[in-house]
Amino acid sequence: MSSLFLRTLREDPADAEVPSHKLLVRAGYVRRVAPGIYSWLPLGLRVLRNIERVVREEMDAIGAQEIQFPALLPREPYEATNRWTEYGPNLFRLKDRRGGDYLLGPTHEELFTQVVKGEYASYKDYPVMLYQIQNKYRDEARPRAGILRGREFLMKDSYSFDLTDEGLAESYRLHRDAYVRIFDRLGLEYVVVKATSGAMGGSASEEFLAVAPTGEDTYVRSPGGYAANVEAVTTPAPPARPVDGLPAAQAHHTPDTPTIETLVDFLNGAGLGRTFTAADTLKNVLVKTRAPGSGEWTLLGVGVPGDREVDMKRLEVALEPAEVALLDEADFAAHPFLVKGYIGPSALAANGVRFLVDPRIAPGTAWVTGADKPDHHVVDLVCGRDFTPDGTIEAAEVREGDPAPDGSGPLEAARGIEIGHVFQLGRKYADAAQLDALGADGKPVRITMGSYGVGVSRLVGVIAEQSHDESGLIWPRGIGPADVHVVVAGKSEEIAAGGERLAAELDAAGVRVLLDDRKASPGVKFADAELIGVPTIVVVGRGLANGVVEVKDRRSGERQEIAVDAVVEHLV
Ligand code: ATP
Ligand code: MG
Ligand code: MG
Ligand code: MG
């Protein structure tokens, strides 16, 4: 530490609101360059690289192959999928010296599709899974919480390419399982929830949410640790229920995908009693959507306060099939589980629906039934957590305020931070790029794709958010900048030499060590050690004369005197 490029700060940065942001800046892990744009200093970069390593190992383990695309990309592939426009103000667009249009990649579906089309031709080539760990650029409306929502951030994005729907389901499962392993290895507390993929062709999409009161997403949990997100997907249903005061139904027709502007116009023209802008986060709005010319409406709920908020951009994507209308009385009458502005567990509960879970249906999905209600399809139930795997129907309560299924107290809404997202894209991008494989029968087969993201740099903030105390950060072993922090506490040459010797021995034994050999006072060193958050702190001080050092567990605060000869063995 006497030569480490590190200066810790005593004061919280003025712009920081959440603990991870305050602590990562104070402990000298990151420094702000511009809103949502951060530099990684040595300690922070080490943590980032450790997380990257875990992600890379688990991606490699499922057979995904690493490649790397540029972040600076030409307009054309994004034009072909309409995302040059669709991405709206979140996209960083720029021009080269000849006036050509470029963008900084916010996500890379187009490029991966293109590269696979370039290299592969036969059905024998498939399936394939490719990934990269690369900086992404999004001009977020509200960059916040330091690296948690950056405008430049590191993402692991992977893409699967399959010949069949079953193949896609398998690639999706492999990724989902890999994500579980990644987040378990990082020691995170998280839940897996269905994402509001809305009208995106009904394909599977799930988000991994790290539990954090400062998060921007909401799910249901009990104080005893039970957690689930149960979002009802619409099914045909019955008895009429009058709803007062709804604006008249209106349909909105656009020739193709609605832009944020047409969406804003639509909502503003709907008589909802408030004015919307493109930057809004929506609550209390319910719409339905369908493909042009198709008779089937898909209901799309946008939450109420306390539920997931949806920003305009996300709604715009969900409304892709182009025809949009507000729900009307008939919709509410036909779907008794709808309450104004909300489809979800508390809405179901408010309508007296009890949840019965049938585990015989594919893992992760289930049907819920109410005594007087027809079935509602729900997803994201986890076998063993939400119901037993023995094939019997198990009753599971998911009513807000009721006890959790494991009896661990009343369910409540809780907040989380999105750390990963798995998504069955289907053929949207393959259609745009005409990505086909030549089948065994000589006929072309359209490829079906999945895309899967992990917020690698965000994870640094998320771990910090979940694992800290008032004195500083607390890293899990293997993830922090070091595993043992040796503090030389004393001015004598013997103590300094003892500290160095111990650090060298630990290093030789393969333990990652940070040695505080600075001339600062023990008080300053202890405070910095707590702030930096290496999981084990070894104090080499006066006790050395008696052959002992103090070993402190950063998380529990527990201290032990250990013979200096036995320390290495104790810590490997
Ligand atoms: P969010 O809902 O938080 O805006 P997203 O749904 O837009 O995230 P995806 O497109 O699914 O993000 O990207 C995959 C992952 O990248 C996310 O699960 C998240 O962990 C991470 N990520 C997305 N946006 C950011 C950001 N601005 N800063 C840091 N990480 C991000
Ligand atoms: Mg986003
Ligand atoms: Mg999201
Ligand atoms: Mg997402």
Indicate the pTM of the whole model. Answer: 0.71
Q: What is the DSSP string of 479-547?
A: TSS-SEEEEE-SSSHHHHHHHHHHHHHHHHTT--EEEE--SS-HHHHHHHHHHHT-SEEEEESGGGGGT
Pairing of strands 536-540, 513-516: unpaired
179, 422 contact by CB (below 8 A) = yes
State the distance from the centre of ligand 2 to the C-alpha of 143, rounded, in angstroms: 10
Residue with the nearest Cα to atom 28 of ligand 1?
Answer: 149
The predicted model gives 30-37 an average pLDDT of: 95
The pLDDT value given to residue 299: 61
State the distance from the centre of ligand 3 to the C-alpha of 32, rounded, in angstroms: 24
Mean residue pLDDT of the chain comes to: 78
State the distance from the centre of ligand 4 to the C-alpha of 506, rounded, in angstroms: 41
Reduced 3-state DSSP string for 430-478: HHHHCCEEECCCCCEEECEEEEEEEEHHHHHHHHHHHCEECCEECCCCC
Pick the atom of ligand 1 nearest to 138's CA: 27
Pick the atom of ligand 1 nearest to 217's CA: 2
Q: Which residues contact 546 (CB under 8 A, 6 or more apart)?
A: none
State the distance from the centre of ligand 1 to the C-alpha of 366, rounded, in angstroms: 28
Residue with the nearest Cα to atom 2 of ligand 1?
Answer: 418
In this structure, of 158-167, 235-244, 281-290, 304-313, the range with the lowest mean pLDDT score is: 235-244
Residue with the nearest Cα to atom 25 of ligand 1?
Answer: 149
Of the ligands numbered here, which is closest to the C-alpha atom of 142? Answer: 1
Residue with the nearest Cα to atom 21 of ligand 1?
Answer: 455
Q: To test ligand 1's pocket by mutation, which of 421, 424, 452 has the most ligand atoms within 8 angstroms of CB? A: 421
Pick the atom of ligand 1 nearest to 151's CA: 27
Residue with the nearest Cα to atom 26 of ligand 1?
Answer: 149
Question: Which residue reads 């009307």 in tokens?
Answer: 328
Residue with the nearest Cα to atom 1 of ligand 1?
Answer: 418
Residue with the nearest Cα to atom 14 of ligand 1?
Answer: 453
The predicted model gives 92-121 an average pLDDT of: 95
Residue with the nearest Cα to atom 5 of ligand 1?
Answer: 418
Q: What is the DSSP string of 7-71?
A: ---SS--TT--SHHHHHHHHTTSEEEEETTEEEEPHHHHHHHHHHHHHHHHHHHHTT-EE----S
State the distance from the centre of ligand 3 to the C-alpha of 420, rounded, in angstroms: 9
Residue with the nearest Cα to atom 16 of ligand 1?
Answer: 455
336 or 120: which leads in pLDDT? 120
Q: What is the pLDDT of residues 190-232, one digit of tens each?
A: 988 766 433 333 357 888 999 898 887 766 666 766 555 443 2
In this structure, of 251-265, 300-314, 487-501, the range with the lowest mean pLDDT score is: 300-314
State the distance from the centre of ligand 1 to the C-alpha of 419, rounded, in angstroms: 7
State the distance from the centre of ligand 2 to the C-alpha of 38, rounded, in angstroms: 18
Pick the atom of ligand 1 nearest to 140's CA: 27
Of the ligands numbered here, which is closest to the C-alpha atom of 38? Answer: 1
241 or 400: which leads in pLDDT? 400
Q: Which residues line ligand 1 (CB under 6 A)?
A: 107, 138, 140, 149-150, 153, 155, 418-421, 453, 455, 457-458
561, 548 contact by CB (below 8 A) = yes
Question: Which residue reads 């760990």 in tokens?
Answer: 133
442 or 328: which leads in pLDDT? 442
Copy the structure tokens of residue 432: 């745009």
Q: What is the pLDDT of residues 358-388, one digit of tens each?
A: 333 333 333 333 333 335 333 333 333 333 3
pLDDT bracket for residue 65 (50, 70, 90):
very high
The pLDDT value given to residue 141: 85
Percent of the chain with pLDDT over 90: 55
pLDDT higher than 80, residue 57 = yes
Pick the atom of ligand 1 nearest to 420's CA: 18
Q: To test ligand 1's pocket by mutation, which of 140, 183, 316, 418 has the most ligand atoms within 8 angstroms of CB? A: 418
Q: To test ligand 1's pocket by mutation, which of 52, 90, 155, 188 has the most ligand atoms within 8 angstroms of CB? A: 155
459 or 330: which leads in pLDDT? 459
State the distance from the centre of ligand 4 to the C-alpha of 209, rounded, in angstroms: 10
The pLDDT value given to residue 223: 73
Q: Which residues contact 530 (CB under 8 A, 6 or more apart)?
A: 471, 472, 537, 554
Pick the atom of ligand 1 nearest to 419's CA: 20
The DSSP code for 123 is G
Of the ligands numbered here, which is closest to the C-alpha atom of 419? Answer: 1
The pLDDT value given to residue 328: 66
Separation of alpha carbons 249 and 266, rounded Å: 12
> 113 in helix, strand or coil?
helix
